[in-house]
Amino acid sequence: MRNLKQPTLAIVVPCYNEEEVLSETIKRLKNIYIQLLADKKIKEKSFITFIDDGSIDNTWEIIKQASHEYTYIRGIKLSKNEGHQHALLAGMQQVSNICDCMVSMDADLQQDPNAINDMINAYSQGYEIALGIREDRESDSLFKKFTAESYYKLMNMMGVEIEFNHADYRLMSKRALRFFLQFKERNLFIRGMVKLVGLKTKKIYFKSSERFAGESKYPLKKMISFALAGITSFSVFPLKLITISGIIIFIITMILGLDALYTVLFTEEAIPGWASTVLPIYFLGGVELLALGILGEYIGKIYTETKNRPLYFIEDEI
């Protein structure tokens, strides 16, 4: 029977080149930690773990300094940059056996740390998972807002269960963590995988803020890569799309063929051989390349899964 009143809480924060914002992040999380202790909502052996995802700035030095000042702050340094999802997984695996529940959040302070209090309340009410949901995207640029909302809609259209406006800000109980860590895939899309765990879940809404300092570590290239990872890890709809495209192409080809036949038989405008040669080459060539690209994405996933290489290496730990 889990302790619903005073759990041992682990806050896991992946970091990559966050020297400009990290001191403020530590300050705010420290205040949250102290307040939760004062309210007797968590045990004194609760802690905060920062995961340095192979940063090349002073991120690790800031984490080490904070750990010397405060006994409840810990740090894990990965040997190289593995990506946000792998860094988060490293933190989840490291704390899973020494906490009653875990909260994961980003280091940029766009996610309101005060929502942790609401997540702990949800845990004390018997919820195994509490999902942090953004109330709005007013802090985002028009382009980011449009692309993010379009992505969530596209994922749902493809049959992928993903919570709208939920990133990787959530609480998970020890049991939920144990269930989650049974997933062995290498191509991680954690926000989708958490939905597969099931268990009693509550939504916690919070107001998002602009990044406190520094630049986003998710430029357009990484955003597209992450989006593709989510689609190919959770949906076979793109493969079905190839079949649908084949049917549509067959119908269009028949129509173009009839049109070309009509032009040859009943008009004098036809260029001999053009319609029957050029149109099918352009049309089918483009579709074949698209189909090969989609198949290549899935084959690439299979290739990386079968290698079974370690997801990360821990260089240092404090």
Domain ranges of the chain: 9-219, 237-307
pLDDT digits (tens, 9 = 90+) for 3-55: 567 899 999 999 999 998 899 999 999 999 999 999 999 999 999 999 999 99
CB neighbours (10 Å) of residue 220?
11
User: Residue 113 in contact with residue 29, Cβ under 8 Å?
Assistant: yes
pTM of the model: 0.70
Structure-token match 């030095």, residue found: 61
Instruction: State the Cα–Cα distance between residues 260 and 227, nearest whole angstrom.
Output: 41
pLDDT value of position 213? 58
Instruction: State the Cα–Cα distance between residues 152 and 156, nearest whole angstrom.
Output: 6
- Residues whose CB is less than 8 angstroms from the CB of residue 271 and which lie 6 or more positions away in sequence, other chains included: none
Instruction: State the Cα–Cα distance between residues 118 and 34, nearest whole angstrom.
Output: 15
**In which band, very low, low, confident or very high, does the pLDDT at 63 lie, cut at 50, 70 and 90?**
very high
**In which band, very low, low, confident or very high, does the pLDDT at 2 lie, cut at 50, 70 and 90?**
low
User: Residue 26 in contact with residue 114, Cβ under 8 Å?
Assistant: no
**CATH hierarchy code of domain 9-219:** 3.90.550.10
Amino acid at 65: Q
pLDDT value of position 30? 93
Structure-token match 């990559």, residue found: 16
**285 phi and psi angles, rounded to 5 deg:** -60, -45
Instruction: State the Cα–Cα distance between residues 291 and 167, nearest whole angstrom.
Output: 30
pLDDT at 290 over 60: yes
